[in-house]
A and B are shown apart, each in its own frame.
Chain A
Amino acid sequence: AQSVTQPDIHITVSEGASLELRCNYSYGATPYLFWYVQSPGQGLQLLLKYFSGDTLVQGIKGFEAEFKRSQSSFNLRKPSVHWSDAAEYFCALGDQGGSEKLVFGKGTKLTVNP
């Protein structure tokens, strides 16, 4: 069965510091992978997605993610965090059966200290 694990429930970083959020997936074939961000009281906004090709994916707001098949990982990175990046981040795995279904990780809450 498809699954997504985000090992870190909560991460705190200082403004200007670099950020890496971890995501591991379980799926046999080439996965469809997504990172979404959710601010308090808001819906989910897509940061970036990976389907195939270049393993380093660029997204919005200065985020990037690297797909590593050997490690079944799709970690999200940002070189310099801004206070406005404080939110909850979700990694998701797309359904290979042809549907729109997404399997989400439990999320990582990011706190940014001034």
Chain B
Amino acid sequence: KAGVTQTPRYLIKTRGQQVTLSCSPISGHRSVSWYQQTPGQGLQFLFEYFSETQRNKGNFPGRFSGRQFSNSRSEMNVSTLELGDSALYLCASSSVAGPSDTQYFGPGTRLTVL
């Protein structure tokens, strides 16, 4: 079974631009979560989707948004990019939504904002 895939793997943008990152969960998984990883703040939860509904959102500004499609694929969007948005963005999927379920992580998208 294929793992979680994220595209693109690397991205370079300039301040003020917007960016869309994509995540394809493991086949059959309906829950997708997003995390931001930076050297200073570590791994921080962005949001979680289950069956196209946002179930939980982390403490990030409204510039960060996401959605999930009927095939469980998910996208996250960051508008008006800032230098501090440079990070590794990780997507994780699980078969059901719940804290006891195992989340499988993708390789991440490395975003650099210049």
Residues of A within 8 A of B (CB): 32, 36, 41-46, 49, 51, 90, 92, 94-107
Contacts and interface: CB of A to CB of B under 8 A. Distances in A.
Given A103-B45, A107-B42, A42 B100 contact: no
A94 B99 contact: yes
Given A100-B101, A104-B42, 13 more contacts: A41-B107, A42-B108, A44-B92, A46-B104, A95-B56, A99-B55, A100-B48, A100-B97, A100-B98, A100-B103, A104-B43, A105-B42, A106-B42
Interface of B: 4, 31, 33, 35, 42-45, 48, 50, 55-56, 58, 90, 92, 94, 97-108
A90 B90 CA distance: 14
Chain A interface mostly: loop
B105 A100 contact: no
B97 A43 contact: no
Contacts of A45: 105
